Chain A
């Protein structure tokens, strides 16, 4: 796969549109309207929409570095989900509504906690096994009440107004959400790693930078390994199509989610006390990592689904099974 030309201009957009002060302000309850207007104006929200429907027609596989960038810049509104929802709606012949669109699954009429659900106008949601587009009204949102977070659960009425109905296999929206989270986890982790390495090179103790201590170096090596593994997982997931196959999505999110406690734990261990202060930036990344790990299923959830598939598979060996589900 070649390097993606759109990435530098997308990163410049995010650098301008989503500075850390704005991330903090929106997480604290501020408006994301100006941020959204810049994103809408950029055209990137139609990145995955087929060219015939007026989009850029980029595959999710090729867009993976951009999804990672959304994580790295901590963009505080569901952009990747909106991009994917717009693509699915366009393919089904529907015009996407303006504003952020969440991907969700509500088996019994309600979802679990969904990050940034307070900011979304619409949800593309699997409701009783059917993928439908619904406008989110204020009474549907049940905020988690978490400090510096816009997470909310959505509770749908018995017969909500359905704006569009999509023919997607059951579980497809959760698998898609999981793949996007995996790629974003990789982006967040990469930035957290950069910050932690820079800190280890600056922070002096015992008369030298702590990054010179072997004990610290060994931990940072582990953090880097897990960040690279998460990136590989996210890229595999993104290469599995839109929506992705369940087994490949499961592997992607299992690995990315499992990396989170290790990555966040080492980042904080190396930083020491300053890492848990509100003023310092590390917490913006690690808070996000922990929420993304849970959202759309943790490592345990996806391992259960993938393992059931493995044990039912006719593949002769573990390697055959892995080859059969791998998009590359």
Chain B
């Protein structure tokens, strides 16, 4: 079962990127408290993203002719790993670098590639993805937003919601209906590049339970788009989105959302001299699972590097990874609360509670646990 997943190592040329990224990450995190760093890939700093782009650390997997690094998927693995290890703020460029750029490279027109890819690689253009709608969550094929043909291109109407980084992004790549009706399901869906500052686009922040406006709702009211707004083929949106999700679901970010919390906890244990017993066992459990999950993510990355679209394997890796991430705050909270007389650093406490509150999102974003397990079950041949 899943025999394609093999122990894989990072090629030396990709591994060689590590020291440079590490330096950038350390600089960016110097004055950021743990509570900020644990936001991981929802921590936003456009200047930092631009600096990474200038240093050639974004768009690594894009061909050099489009301003990329000409590396394979493992280069991104190394860069992402180093940035997330310490909680550098990567949200600004995150979506563009992870999935918009590969999508445009694979399905975009030559003009789209030439315009967008170099700017993404430089950290000058930021993207968000428009998938969920008020009535369409896991049932993504039921989206109602609609693009209609006009003499000059397309007219967009509808609404997207729960869109990460939409407040600050320049473009959204939105999945909308371009023909047929909801009854046609996956057929008739297309992806469009929508400039978020275009007339008719309204972006409203949504405050989450941590007090952060991390996601937003976006309204399209007769937004006029050119012919060149269409990405890929008209009606091919579903297929394209599925391929995109293999990128979205396989990365090490699906394991590392809570690693900053683990490290803060380790610092707490050391400060209180609790290096044996139940605490050590828990630290060992975290380390063992991290090591094996990391190898699993590398095995999936190796499939991407081989040019495949490992949708099922990526689902498996993501479900295991997010289950681990979600276990971290619960287990650390129990350890901490089992020592009620121990002094707890306020930043560490805030970090723990931030993760406890936001952790449910880990298994929602990019496809819910139940949807992923359904994909895996189909892959198992359950008829």
B287–A306 CB distance below 8 A = yes
Of B81, B263, B299, B370, the residue contacting A232 (CB under 8 A) is: B299
Of A304, A309, A311, the residue contacting B266 (CB under 8 A) is: A311
A232–B5 CB distance below 8 A = yes
Which of the four size classes fits the interface of chain B?
A: 35 or more
Q: Bits for A8-25, please: 1 = Cβ < 8 Å to B, else 0.
A: 000000000000000000
* Given known A-B contacts A222-B373, A328-B7, A193 and B287 have beta carbons under 8 A apart: no
B223 smallest CB distance to A (angstroms):
38
A322–B287 CB distance below 8 A = yes
Residue of A nearest to B270 (CB): A311
Asked if A51 lies at the interface with its beta carbon under 8 angstroms from chain B, I say no
**A270 CA to B279 CA, complexed, in Å:** 35
**A282 CA to B6 CA, complexed, in Å:** 27
**A193 CA to B380 CA, complexed, in Å:** 10
* Given known A-B contacts A306-B288, A308-B275, A319-B259, A221 and B380 have beta carbons under 8 A apart: yes
Cβ contacts under 8 Å, B286 to chain A: 307, 310, 318
Q: Bits for A55-97, please: 1 = Cβ < 8 Å to B, else 0.
A: 0000001000000000000000000000000000000000000
A326–B283 CB distance below 8 A = no
CB proximity to B under 8 Å, residues A278-328:
299-300, 302-312, 317-322, 325-326, 328
B7–A303 CB distance below 8 A = no
Cβ contacts under 8 Å, B259 to chain A: 317-319
A232–B296 CB distance below 8 A = yes
Secondary structure call for the B interface: helix
CB proximity to B under 8 Å, residues A160-175:
none
Instruction: State how many residues of chain A have any CB contact under 8 Å with chain B.
Output: 58
A318–B287 CB distance below 8 A = yes
B85–A254 CB distance below 8 A = no
**A326 CA to B296 CA, complexed, in Å:** 12
**A317 CA to B88 CA, complexed, in Å:** 13
Segment at the B interface, from A42-50, A100-108, A118-126, A233-241: A233-241
Q: List 7 A-B contacts (CB under 8 A).
A: A228-B1, A255-B288, A258-B285, A303-B284, A303-B285, A303-B288, A317-B259
Partner-B contacts on A (CB < 8 A): 1, 61, 190, 193-194, 197, 200-201, 209, 211-212, 214, 216-218, 220-222, 224-225, 227-229, 231-233, 235-236, 239, 248, 250-252, 254-255, 258, 299-300, 302-312, 317-322, 325-326, 328
